Structure 1
């Protein structure tokens, strides 16, 4: 039964137009980043490194594919998760709107399996989108701008040689994909509570904004940061510290996966007890 449910969910997400609008929106974001970098990237870098150029000699160009990839990664803060939340929440809100949910529930389908299939589909769809985003950006960035050393600003300017930058970017995409799955999971849970598509989108945007605001909040005890999910969503950014605390990165990602399971568990519990009508 679960295989049939998963197949049905994948057919739905492939056929719905929102899926392709989402991929198109991500492609547009990438394109805008490429255009801006191509025409203004050197100017921005000159402003950033003006003081350093007075004391150091830089060989080669720092406006390269690795820098473009890092800039694209920064769309994981808001743009990409919002798009993903809108699409994945539609797996449930569309069925409420069309009335097909009641029809499905009249069949010999267990409610927990039905909603679990949606969570799994949302997670797999999210991973596929991030993979598409990663591969397309890698191909275009290296083709147009070539490779080279990476400079990023995280409190201080950090420099990484091309090979090390490539590996850090790959790990950052992997870590960022877990954060995106978390947001997709949260959107399904919100859809269970709210039902209506437009209200779920607003709630998803609000959830995303609040999470990002709490990420920057400093009023919480330091030891609480390891367990509070808003403090975990920037784990991919920690991979660009000069010295990476790999143990902390691993703990953060495991905690995020546990939060995904907790949000999914909450949604399944509520859906199991909720009257579908």
Structure 2
């Protein structure tokens, strides 16, 4: 039964034009980034490292596909919650407003199975978005800019990642990014269970993410105790996979917190939808 429901849910998702907005937007933005860095990348890189050359000797293919991919991921992953919420935010509310949920209620299908199928379908869509971004950025980056060691600059240190380690780090980063975006998937699905308007969960999801992100950037004592509790704080933990040495404990802690959020949001969704009167 779950398999049949899942096929139906996937068909619903990929039959909507809005589901392809994220894929098209990612393709266009990756192309723009690749083109801009191909034309002006060396100038940008010289400006970026000119002060470092007074203390270090820098040589080799710095502007390589791995650096391009890292820059693209760092820029675009923060925009992807909108692309995810645009589709997953109305998985329940969209059907409620269209009246198709009442038709489902007349079938011998448990409500728990409906939620499970929608969650898996939404997660699959999210996974495809992450793989699309990672595949395009890395594939075209290596094709155009070739390989080389990855130099990652941060506010307090410089990490040099050997080329031999870059592929598995990018793969791990995509896995962690998928987990972080799954938090958005389940959060928007939860809000969708509380609404009969398909727009409200989408807008509410983005509003919460924006508010949490702003709080996370404020360096004020009032918010310092709150920041570790916000799921947006942990959604950027994939960047720590490009630090040397790796902070495995920090990464695993953030993953555990995000998984807890996923379980929590999904549990609320199950409870709300099972108790909800969808026949009226």
TM-score (norm 1): 0.91
How far is the alpha carbon of 1:78 from its aligned partner? 2.7
How far is the alpha carbon of 1:86 from its aligned partner? 0.7
SS at match of 1:90: coil
Write the distance in 2 (CA, Å) between the matches of 1:103 and 1:53: 67
Q: Structure 2: state its 5+ residue gaps.
A: none
Partner of 2:80: 80
> Residues 25-44 of structure 1: matches in 2 within 5 Å?
25-44=25-44
- Seen in structure 2, the aligned counterparts of structure 1 residues 221 and 211 have a Cα distance that, compared at 3 Å, is closer
Aligned positions, number: 277
SS at match of 2:23: helix
SS at match of 1:78: helix
Deviations 1:113-155 (A, max 9, x none): 2122111211122112212222222211100111112122222
Deviations 1:131-188 (A, max 9, x none): 2222222211100111112122222332222122333222212111110111111111
Partner of 1:158: 159
Pairing partner for 1:236 from 217, 220, 238: 238
Tell me if structure 1 keeps the 8 A contact 2:61–2:147: no
SS at match of 1:102: helix
Pairing partner for 1:261 from 256, 260, 263: 263
Write the distance in 2 (CA, Å) between the matches of 1:270 and 1:2: 20
Deviations 1:220-256 (A, max 9, x none): 7878765542321121011122221112212221221
Partner of 1:202: 203
SS at match of 1:199: helix
- Seen in structure 2, the aligned counterparts of structure 1 residues 220 and 262 have a Cα distance that, compared at 3 Å, is farther
Tell me if structure 2 keeps the 8 A contact 1:179–1:256: yes
Does residue 16 in structure 1 map to residue 13 in structure 2? no
SS at match of 2:192: helix
Partner of 1:107: 107
Tell me if structure 2 keeps the 8 A contact 1:214–1:230: no
Q: Which moved more, 1:24-33 or 1:72-81?
A: 72-81
User: 4+ residue runs of structure 1 moved beyond 4 angstroms?
Assistant: 220-228
Write the distance in 2 (CA, Å) between the matches of 1:32 and 1:70: 15
Write the distance in 2 (CA, Å) between the matches of 1:22 and 1:257: 24
The two structures, once aligned, show a CA RMSD in angstroms of 2.1
> Residues 181-200 of structure 1: matches in 2 within 5 Å?
181-200=182-201
Deviations 1:44-65 (A, max 9, x none): 2111111122343322231110
Write the distance in 1 (CA, Å) between the matches of 2:86 and 2:224: 33
